[in-house]
A and B are shown apart, each in its own frame.
Chain A
């Protein structure tokens, strides 16, 4: 049941580092994070890794395993062959602090740039009435555990530092969609999604959807519908013509 696996783990800090080789015990049912922990306990006590729940619920242990963004706690060792060398590196889009730990402050900055949920002023707590079907669209996006792997994998910023200031990334574009679809939110978010948060950069390659550990259909259910809402407003020739002729404003949803 138990065997010795070959691991290559990125180690380093302050902009320098290298892949370090380890041979380490693996037991039945274990996940990559277990092996990282075994390295800490037995061979490299200062090996840095973020983790919390170890059950795929907190989104802390994002890393790249054989080049693919994955949660360490949800990647079972049984998905690899016993003679395979497993390479573990930090998320590439964010600066490395040490070893597998990256500086993800980009994401917290972006979170603060999205205007918050704004209900009508006259609805008091306890008076909210919403149908299940109307909350389900936003609920899907609220399953997000903020592992930031969608932002990590997104080619708009993965190797393009210069795009970071004007691009919220899939995670926070989805947050805009979530709020836009909230039955009680009154803020018009369409213009700002496009102009301030960079929705237009997204060319729907669906890399974000592919890596999402919660299986949220980020592209299909959040980004594309949000693009359609923006397009309805701005570029649809009929709406444009209608606006010209009837002087009406775009639809809210």
Chain B
């Protein structure tokens, strides 16, 4: 069986916001770039992002600037964030948003014709550039159309539209390949990527010295999730198997508001914009329960009465924001607690009501796709009645450990950006910080990969034996008459949902690890009926390896971190620990993936000019006395 072979400078895996922005950058730097994606071009998960892209442009409130955004991001992540990433993100997001506009994006406007910005959880000022509630679609389409524009330019210049940037759609990468030759050291360097075409099942090999992972998240390891089938943790697993490290894997964001009914749409996202634009959460007794859940660290920043919270929408200078706009981890836990206490809605959620808060026409204008989604899928008219919502697995804060400035992973030639990378969001991501993250770090990873290729003395080459091994691995499920992969997948989803979900404890996570171990054995024997032509059973059988590997990382890290912080809540360790704040959990795997190890690593101390952006009183809630002493010394200087 022949393997199709292509040579590129940079291969970008994933065609969401981060992947496309990385590819555009690599191409603009003159690199021959391939974009490889599992779905059709323009269908990536970014399309589902609703609320907006956070960027401190100051168009609506001129007091906003990068320092305020940086502080909000660090607070949202409970100070576990990679502060250099949070700094770069806050500084560069406005330029990345403006750049989209020059590529044809049409954001909603302010009265003076600038890009409008909306309120969102955890953001001190209106900060999210948006288009109604379909901002992700606007972003993906704009980036897609930018790729097309570059292709048109290449057509004019070189007579070939795909000379410098080509999309390999419906193509799945199953292995990264490395050169272990003398020039590239014993650890080896990236030499290429191996995969298959979904359409006809033929195998494909990319020879490339640089690979950018932009594969998104891992939500398909959970039953209730806002994520699509693509989110099987491919990039996380590819990186591990290539020898890179993952950090912060215990931190998973359960978005507070997913649909809960009907069952078939359970988990589908209900945008935070509903709350940003005035929507409130109520329990079955009609109480706005979020006022009961303002945590100590945020006490002085949120309204304590409904009256004050309501006034905030029109007068932010003199009032504090309503607690419905606390960071997502807080709201999700509160909803979970209300339901557990028996104050939930009939279908096991709570009520999210915007119908009594805004005129019907305004709701349809600001939240058109929510209106459409509830009407079509649940027979609920959100302009007239409340929605029922509950937490849904939405986003993983953890991912490939990268250099903040270049997106470089520990393996030479490997880069990562967007959800698949870790660090930027710490233990919890603020809404709106994802779309801006994709743009800022997509561009940086593309530039990092291009610069790496420029520095290379010799192109690495793919060893034939690793191609043979990748080929055998990819075809194995077709050659077995084993168990149905769908059953293994469903069991994994139930396991993770029930045992490593929103609230965790040592016993349950230990049980999950046992279950995952058994599932890994079963996955070795799953078989795929049918041939290689567009065969979803075969595809799932291959994706299982990634989901299982990533699930093990999540569970192992979750067991080790004996505290509660952001997207990791342990009911056996309910407090947040300043000692743990300084520690990152770093996952690694053996090359065959059979063994996962987790090590502690010390988070580097924040740079002086950044930590002094915070008040001492706030830092006291997060950092150790020794760190506080260092801070005092800094301030005295």
Q: Which residues of A contact B (CB under 8 A)?
A: 13-14, 27-31, 34, 40-41, 45-60, 74, 76, 97-99, 101, 103-104, 108, 111-112, 115-117, 119, 123-126, 128-132, 135, 138-139, 142-146, 179, 182
Question: Is A57 within 8 A of B369, CB to CB?
Answer: yes
Question: Does B47 touch A at the CB level, under 8 Å?
Answer: yes
Is the beta-carbon distance between A51 and B534 smaller than 8 angstroms? no
With contacts A116-B149, A125-B98 taken as known, whether A47 is within 8 angstroms of B536 at the C-beta atoms is: yes
The smallest beta-carbon distance between B199 and chain A, in angstroms, is 6
Chain B residues 536 to 582 lying within 8 A of chain A, measured CB to CB, are 536-538
- Determine if B149 and A128 form an interchain contact, defined as CB atoms under 8 angstroms apart: no
* Interface segment, one of B264-272, B411-419, B465-473: B264-272
Q: Do residues A132 and B261 form an inter-chain contact, with CB atoms below 8 A? A: no
Candidate in A30, A58, A103 with the most chain B CB atoms within 10 angstroms: A58
A129 and B533 contact, CB distance less than 8 A: no
What's the Cα separation between A98 and B230 when bound, in Å? 20
Does B301 sit at the interface, judged by CB under 8 A?
A: no
CB distance from B318 to the nearest CB of A (A): 28
Number of residues on chain B facing chain A (CB within 8 A) = 69
Per the bound structure, the CA–CA distance linking A27 and B262 in Å amounts to 9
Contact: B109 with A131, CB < 8 Å? yes
Once the chains bind, are B95 and A125 in contact (CB under 8 Å)? yes
Q: How far is it, in angstroms, between the C-alpha of A179 and the C-alpha of B113 when the chains are bound?
A: 19
| Cβ-defined contact, B228 with A53, below 8 A | yes
Within 8 A of A (CB), among B83-110: 94-95, 98-99, 101-104, 106-109
B-chain residues with CB within 8 Å of residue A98 when the two chains form the complex: 533-534
Say yes or no: is B161 at the interface (Cβ < 8 Å to chain A). Answer: yes
Residues of chain B contacted by A58 (CB below 8 angstroms): 39, 43, 47-48, 228
Check A57/B529 contact, CB under 8 A, given A28-B262, A40-B536, A52-B39. Answer: no
Which positions 372-423 of chain B face chain A at CB distance < 8 Å?
372-373, 376-378
Q: Shortest CB–CB separation between residue B326 and chain A, in angstroms?
A: 25
- B residues in contact with A41, CB < 8 Å: 484, 486, 490
> Which segment of B131-139, B493-501, B512-520, B584-592 sits at the interface?
B131-139
Residue of B nearest to A138 (CB): B106
Report chain B residues within 8 Å CB of A126: 94-95, 98, 101
C-alpha gap A181/B436 in the complex (Å) = 27
Other-chain residue from A46, A74, A97 in contact with B528 (beta carbon distance below 8 A): A46
The answer on a CB contact under 8 Å between B102 and A125 is yes
A145 to B43, CA, bound (A): 9
> Given the known A-B contacts A52-B229, A142-B138, are A45 and B486 also in contact in the complex, defined by CB atoms under 8 Å?
yes
List chain B positions with a Cβ less than 8 A from chain A.
Answer: 39-45, 47-48, 94-95, 98-99, 101-104, 106-109, 112-114, 116, 131-132, 134, 137-138, 141, 145, 148-149, 151-152, 161, 199-200, 228-230, 261-265, 268-269, 369, 372-373, 376-378, 484-486, 490, 528-531, 533-538
**Could you count the A-B residue pairs with CB atoms below 8 Å apart for me: how many are there?**
175
Docked-complex contact B264 and A45, CB < 8 angstroms: no
Main secondary structure of the interface of A (DSSP, over half): loop
- Which residue of the partner chain A has the closest CB to B153? A116
Instruction: Check if B229 sits within 8 Å of A143, measured CB to CB.
Output: no
Name the distance in Å between B44's Cβ and chain A's nearest Cβ. 8
Q: Are A145 and B372 in contact (CB under 8 A)?
A: no
What are 5 A-B residue pairs whose CB atoms fall within 8 Å in the complex?
A58-B43, A97-B199, A101-B199, A126-B95, A129-B114
Q: How far is the CB of B355 from chain A (nearest CB, A)?
A: 21
CB closest residue in chain A, given B57? A126
Residue A29 contacts which of B149, B262, B490, B538 (CB distance < 8 angstroms)? B262
Q: Which residue of A lies closest to B151 (CB)?
A: A112
Bound-state CA distance A74–B264 (Å) is: 11
Instruction: For B199, list chain A residues within 8 Å (CB).
Output: 97, 101, 103
| Chain A neighbourhood of B161, CB < 8 A | 112
Distance, CA A13 to CA B201, complexed state (A): 13
- Closest residue of chain B to A31 (Cβ to Cβ) is B264
Quick check: B264 and A46 within 8 Å, CB to CB? no
The residues of B that contact A116 with a CB separation of less than 8 Å are 104, 145, 148-149, 152
Report, nearest first, the 7 A-B pairs whose CB atoms are least far apart: A29-B262, A46-B530, A45-B537, A117-B104, A129-B113, A116-B149, A125-B98
Question: Complex formed: what's the CA distance from A145 to B141 in Å?
Answer: 9
Given the complex of chains A and B, what is the CA–CA distance between A104 and B41 in angstroms? 11
Q: Does B531 lie within 8 Å of A46, measured CB to CB? A: yes
B446 CB, min distance to chain A CBs, angstroms: 18
Instruction: Tell me which residues across on chain B come within 8 A of A119, comparing CB atoms.
Output: 102
CA distance A146 to B99 in the complex (A): 23
CB distance from A78 to the nearest CB of B (A): 9
Q: Is the CB of B263 within 8 A of A13?
A: no
Q: What's the Cα separation between A128 and B109 when bound, in Å?
A: 10
Q: Which residues of chain B have C-beta atoms less than 8 A from A128's C-beta?
A: 98, 101-102, 113
Nearest opposing residue in chain A for B99, CB measure: A125
Whether the Cβ atoms of A45 and B530 lie closer than 8 Å is yes
A60 near B378 with CB under 8 A, answer no
Contact of B264 among A29, A97, A101, A123 (CB under 8 A): A29
Asked, given contacts A46-B537, A145-B137, whether A30 binds B264 with beta carbons under 8 Å apart, the answer is yes
Q: Which residues of A contact B151 (CB under 8 A)?
A: 112
Known: A115-B152, A116-B104, A146-B42. A54 touches B528 (CB 8 A): no
A29 and B228 within 8 A (CB): no
User: Would A57 and B137 be within 8 Å (CB), given that A99-B534, A112-B152, A130-B113 are in contact?
Assistant: yes
Q: Bound complex: CA of A55 vs CA of B229, how far in Å?
A: 13
